A and B are shown apart, each in its own frame.
Chain A
């Protein structure tokens, strides 16, 4: 395998963590890790100079329902300095789909994790802003799950007044968790 050197330095840098390497057809080295080790591994991957995966290119997931564990969470990492890419994967069970956030390590993970929560219903513990991203806030269900129907009929929602009062507008904005920057 062409990625052996990377796996050797991973194992040396983060002892005690099981990296289960998986086959890859592109230029990513691929490894599964346990859900509980995500924060530890993420921090080491970014901060250890021999790894230096400074960019989190993507966080996404795939649903393999009805198989269990049904979710595979995927982190695509880039090391600009070492010109290397790593695909880190985490298996999650449907009844226990949550994982620690990496927003504190890569700030760009914020919206990417919100999108995964929005479309797959995988929760990110400790996320600073755990709201839906693309779907309306009152949407029910998680559309990219495989047991979510492709076509559903939903009554058009009307009745909300178009003109809101100043107080209502301000309250809506507060509901959007708008925080004043220091």
Chain B
């Protein structure tokens, strides 16, 4: 008796661009042998809106809302990175209070972004309740943004030369209440996940990336730190005075999705530490921008009462300010890794070129490396663990 030959062939599956776990519009063409992924071809560009081309038409100050919408989960990190590059071209020395406020905002933004990541990633691997927990605390952070600038997601509070306005009343109390609440909540999340056998099984040894690959694929950030690359811009190339703050950089060596989870949760704890130190240093009122009438607009009460202030206000809002010719790139440690803006000026009031370094794009590129050879069920867990924001990938 002969057994009939079993026909085997690989199957091509199109995942995305509309898939709930692709964090936007990432498309993956997967070639499968049974449940094993043989090859993967990420296709991006569905969200490309030409922000960099648009930025070349705007005045310097008008670029800030644009860059905030690139990586929409870390708006304030984007605008801090952009402003630092422009300020390097302008040769501005910021007041100490502004630096401390920016550090506080950047760290709150990091916690905010990591909370969204943790919630969505947890939900995708089956721990739906984590999402509810994380978005509960994120709401408090959005409330802080609203208090600060009247806008929850894209506050445009960071400006070239400092901040838009001084801190609102009740700011210290609100932030302190959040900082007091947060450590307990982080323990709650860890109770739900860190030793949860289902979660650990779904993420340990999944989507591994080696140290060499992390370096080769330019994955500077939490993914690289989970693979043993001890690199954090805040420590290696300090900006805004991070060298005066006491914090640690969590590093793991496993390089899998579980290590990325542990690194990001530890990062949130370190960010809370930095926030507390920053809040101590920030006085409730004081300098919130440099004192340069060419760059920063005068306070409103002076605009209403003084001729010179009115002229200055009018000039800044109608013509903007000019930036000396040159190029600058100041790296900052965003929630997704090293980010920064390569900015070229031709000496006019509009940028000649604005280029964001997108950590999500590079993570997407390395995605193929992480999922090939694994199971199709793990693809979702891996996409979740690298924390891509498609707005940052496609711009």
Contact = CB atoms under 8 A, between A and B. Distances in A.
B53 A108 contact: no
Given A26-B85, A176-B43, A74 B342 contact: yes
A7 interface: no
Contacts of B372: 181
Interface string B31-63: 100000011010111001010110001000000
A80 B236 contact: yes
Interface string A76-105: 101010010101000000000000000000
Interface residues of B, number: 54
Size class of A's contact patch?
35 or more
Contact of B29 (A54, A108, A134, A178): A178
A25 interface: yes
B58 to A, nearest CB: 11
A136 to B, nearest CB: 7
B112 to A, nearest CB: 25
A135 B45 contact: yes
B8 to A, nearest CB: 14
A26 B328 contact: yes
A125 to B, nearest CB: 20
Given A111-B365, A173-B12, A180-B38, A55 B357 contact: no
The prevalent SS among residues of B at the interface is mixed
A11 interface: no
A176 B44 contact: no
Contacts of B41: 173, 176-178
A173 B362 CA distance: 23
Contacts of B355: 58, 60
Given A80-B231, A143-B50, A55 B91 contact: no
Contacts of B85: 26
Contact of B329 (A28, A64, A136, A176): A28
A23 B326 contact: yes
Given A26-B330, A57-B357, A110-B365, A144 B217 contact: no
A26 B218 contact: no
B342 A106 contact: no
A178 B215 contact: no
Interface in B316-336: 326-331
A89 to B, nearest CB: 9
A126 interface: no
Contacts of B10: 180
Given A26-B328, A74-B342, A80-B236, A173 B39 contact: no
B216 interface: yes
Contacts of A63: 353
B237 A27 contact: yes
Contact of B52 (A25, A83, A144): A144
B103 interface: no
A55 B220 contact: yes
B237 A85 contact: yes
20 contacts: A23-B326, A25-B326, A27-B237, A54-B215, A55-B215, A58-B218, A58-B355, A78-B220, A80-B229, A85-B237, A87-B327, A108-B216, A112-B362, A134-B48, A136-B45, A144-B353, A173-B41, A176-B43, A179-B39, A181-B372
Interface of B: 10, 12, 14, 29, 31, 38-39, 41, 43-45, 48, 50, 52-53, 57, 85, 88-89, 91, 213, 215-220, 229-231, 236-237, 326-331, 338, 342, 344, 352-353, 355, 357, 361-362, 364-366, 372-373, 394-395
Given A25-B328, A58-B357, A177-B41, 20 more contacts: A25-B89, A25-B91, A26-B88, A28-B329, A55-B215, A76-B342, A76-B357, A80-B215, A108-B366, A111-B362, A112-B218, A132-B45, A133-B45, A135-B45, A135-B48, A150-B57, A173-B12, A173-B29, A176-B41, A180-B31
